[in-house]
Amino acid sequence: MSPEQITNPAKAEGLQDMLASAGYSETAISYYIRKPYMGSIPDADQVSDMTGSCGDTMSIYLKLDGDIVTDAKYQVMGCAGAVSAAMAAVDLIRGKTLDYARSLNDGDVFKVLQKIPEKKHHCIQLAVKTLHKALDEYKNGGCRDRNPH
């Protein structure tokens, strides 16, 4: 589904119904449709990518001020579960410390989403693992080059 289709109210309603019947909560659907933290941060302090077992890929951009995550965005080439999990993860870490963000786990994100199809739970893992990878890379010297090694 293209972004144009999602911003069309009639199509968005159809999409909402489809996702609801697939097992997504209203909260998860709202994150997927609104995509509040989708995109990139040009002056990010850390950019990291990860590919999940399903073959889908995410990039995370972190903006930091000392020990605080001031902003974060994801680029997601993945499913609705992956998008909603990534957006929820950002809401959980914005304004929080690096340690708090590193301690975030799949259950924390699932609690926010409330309900997504069981076969999509690995998509939450991908969002969290991408975040953890970025934080670990930052701690180990930081890295903004997407293909450094």
Number of residues binding to ligand FES, judged by CB under 6 A:
10
Q: Which is nearer to ligand FES, 52 or 61 (CB)?
A: 52
Per-residue interface string for the shown chain with ligand FES, residues 42-61, x marking contact by CB under 6 A = ----------x-x-x-----
In three-state secondary structure terms, 112 is: helix
Please identify which residue in 123, 128, 131, 134 interacts with ligand FES, judged by CB under 6 A. 123
- Residues ≥6 apart with Cβ < 8 Å to 19: 28, 29, 32, 80
Interface with ligand FES includes 69 (CB under 6 A)?
no
Q: Which is nearer to ligand FES, 60 or 82 (CB)?
A: 82
Minimal distance in Å, beta carbon 145 to ligand FES?
24
HEC-encoded secondary structure of 122-134:
HHHHHHHHHHHHH
Q: Let me know: does 90 contact 74? Beta carbons within 8 Å.
A: yes
